Amino acid sequence: MKKLRSRLFFHFSIQFGFISLLMIVVAVLATLIGGYFLVELEREADYYQYQLDELVIEVGDPLEYIKSNEDMDDLLPKSMWLQIIDEKGKVIISGNAPGNLKKSYNSIDIEQMKERKQLEEYSVKYTLEQPLFEDSYLFVLGYKDPGALIWSEFIENVNSDGRIAEENQSQVEEKLNQLGGTLAVYNNKGDIIQQFGSNEHIEKPPLEMIERETSPDHFSENQYTFWDSDSGNTWILISPNEKKQKLPSPMLKKPILIVAGIAGGILLITLLIAFWNSFRYGSPLFIFSNWLNRMGNGNYEEVLIEQEKKKVYRKNGKLKRRYKLYKEVFQAFDDMAEKLDASRKEREQLEKSREEWVAGISHDLRTPLTTMEGYGRLLGNKEYDWSKQELQEIGDTITEKSDYMVDLIEDFTLSFRLKNDADSLTFSLVNINEFMKQILEKFQKDVAFKDYQIIYKPIHPDRKIEVNERLFERMIDNLVYNAWKHNPPETAVKIETVELEEERGLEIRIIDNGTGMDEETQKHLFTRYYRGTNTEERNEGTGLGMSIALQIAKLHQGTISVQSEKDKGTIVTVVLPYDKD
């Protein structure tokens, strides 16, 4: 298979190299296209401001642009003009500039342009470029805006009462009809006191007034507002926002064309490779597919039918050139056919294990259910009058058993997860005497085990040991339950803790005086789902508890051993280190 791996690696590494390169190019192209659409959104928000910003980037240093002898008119549509003004107010570069514009501006001119947003009859957008340690330049972009031009004329002729004089109303109406706009005059209460134009004025949402300042071209109409401080009246003019002629994007056009060309070439090569691969690798795959279908139907003897043999092998029995790449695969299929019978047996064994797993569930749930059932029968006995304290104790015990059953349900897959999830377990230091007494106390209070004796012999002095409290308690529970489950009710269980000085560890012994175990049972005691064959014991379990106990001990870097003789009892010894590390 190593030769096959090498051949496949050689064949596919070249192909995937081209594909990877294509993916990189496509990613770059997608980034550029995404950037292009983001730029388009910005362009659509304020078209003329965006055009100005793009022109600033395209021109760069005005002095260097002058030296390049490029014609500014080529960058501008006929509907716009551009002037670049230096710090002295002199126009050093212009494009499409009308003849009535100045060639030099003073501070008053600039201030008026700034306030009116106009130069002569043109609306303007401007931006001041201040390169570090270099001269500053003012870029001014002009364009015709009929609405702004009429608006300036209206504002300059505001009547003393903040209205349009009666003698001017017909002229205003005529100009608005030509423009296709509407003028409304509001008083300080928000009521319309005058309205002119061809369209009915519609009240706009309050926040839209702010949005129009930052993104005017998101709307199909322009809006101009004026507040007359003397009268308190507000004028609002609405005019159509005609579709603008878009400038090309010189910053994105060339890179997109180059990347698109490269991507197209790589895509063509990739498609050719894909077509070649479909013929080269498709035929063997069809054979393998038919082969697998026959195996799925249980026909393991006929690996290849006669027609396929003629297609794959030469007359001398050797593989044809097209199929040599897969000669190890053909051999592997032969081996697989021989192993499928063993696989079927493994599946049958797995199904048996699943059934035993269900039995293991009943093994773990039986004890708390028995206790709850016992208390339920006692509570149902009408001949006994229970005190409040007794009812409280019974309720607490039932609640405890219910909680314990919830924990058991979570632990049903514990025996399979302990090995895989060991790194995620948390450990804490506990006093072994105090913790053991806490674990054994529930047995002493449980009426289900009132016929059993349990004695704990603590260690002196007390020791701290690092354990996972939930799993450690589960291990002790399993060992104690196992001692009672397979012995008669009068069996006594003694638990003692001994310190191992040399090994720096603790030895916990679970000792019972029960019936003991034979050698065969001891040999398989920790085998998952094993059940002893002693007919004298109550054969209720599946052996899952002891298997889990051993796994938990190993997670604590400990061990479990068993000593037992028939009719002499059993000693289960758990050895745990002080410090797992």
Ordered per-residue pLDDT tens for the chain, 581 residues: 456 556 556 666 776 676 777 778 777 777 777 776 666 666 566 778 888 888 888 888 888 888 888 888 888 888 889 999 998 999 999 888 888 899 999 999 888 888 878 888 888 889 998 876 578 899 999 988 877 777 777 777 777 788 888 777 788 788 888 777 888 888 888 788 888 886 665 566 666 666 666 666 666 677 778 788 878 888 887 777 765 444 445 445 556 666 677 767 777 777 777 677 666 666 677 777 777 777 777 666 666 777 777 777 787 877 777 677 777 777 777 777 777 766 767 777 767 766 766 676 676 677 788 888 888 888 888 788 888 888 898 888 888 888 777 766 665 666 666 655 666 788 899 999 999 999 888 888 777 777 778 899 998 888 889 999 988 998 998 898 888 888 888 888 999 999 887 767 899 999 999 899 888 888 878 875 555 544 344 444 434 678 888 888 988 899 999 999 888 899 999 999 876 44
Q: What are phi and psi of 396, to 5 degrees?
A: -65, -40
Sort residue 287 into left (φ over 0), alpha (ψ -120 to 50) or beta.
Answer: alpha
The CA-CA-CA angle for residues 337, 341, 346, to 5°, reads: 125
- pLDDT of amino acid 8: 58
CATH tag for 47-144 (out of 3.30.1910, 3.30.70, 3.40.50, 3.30.450): 3.30.450
**Domain at 414-577, CATH class:** alpha beta
State pTM to two decimals: 0.37
Answer whether 468's CB lies under 8 Å from 426's CB: yes
Q: Which of 543, 569, 549 is nearest to 561 (CA)?
A: 549
Q: What is the rounded distance in angstroms from the CA atom of residue 55 to the CA atom of residue 276?
A: 49
- pLDDT of amino acid 91: 92
Q: What burial letters (b/e) apply to 305-328, b meaning 16+ CB within 10 Å? A: eeeeeebbeeeeeeeeeebebbee
How far are the Cα atoms of 218, 235, 423, 525, 556 from residue 560, in angstroms, in the given order? 78, 94, 21, 11, 11
Place of tokens 């322009």: 222
Q: Which of 518, 513, 520, 525 is nearest to 565 (CA)?
A: 518
CA 46: distance to chain centroid? 37
Q: Which of 463, 455, 414, 456 is nearest to 576 (CA)?
A: 463
Answer whether 567's CB lies under 8 Å from 520's CB: no
Please state whether the peptide bond connecting residue 146 to the residue before it is cis, i.e. omega within 30 degrees of 0: no
Q: Which of 423, 451, 456, 460 is nearest to 437 (CA)?
A: 456
- pLDDT of amino acid 537: 41
- pLDDT of amino acid 562: 93
Structure token digits, residue 363: 């093994």
Neighbour count for residue 231 (Cβ, 10 Å): 17
Sheet bearing 122-129, strands edge to edge: 91-95, 80-85, 137-143, 122-129, 118-119
Burial class (CB in 10 A: 0-12, 13-18, 19+), 228: middle
Q: What is the rounded distance in angstroms from the CA atom of residue 4 to the CA atom of residue 511?
A: 60
Structure token digits, residue 556: 């604590």
Structure token digits, residue 332: 């592997």
- CATH code for the domain defined by 148-240: 3.30.450
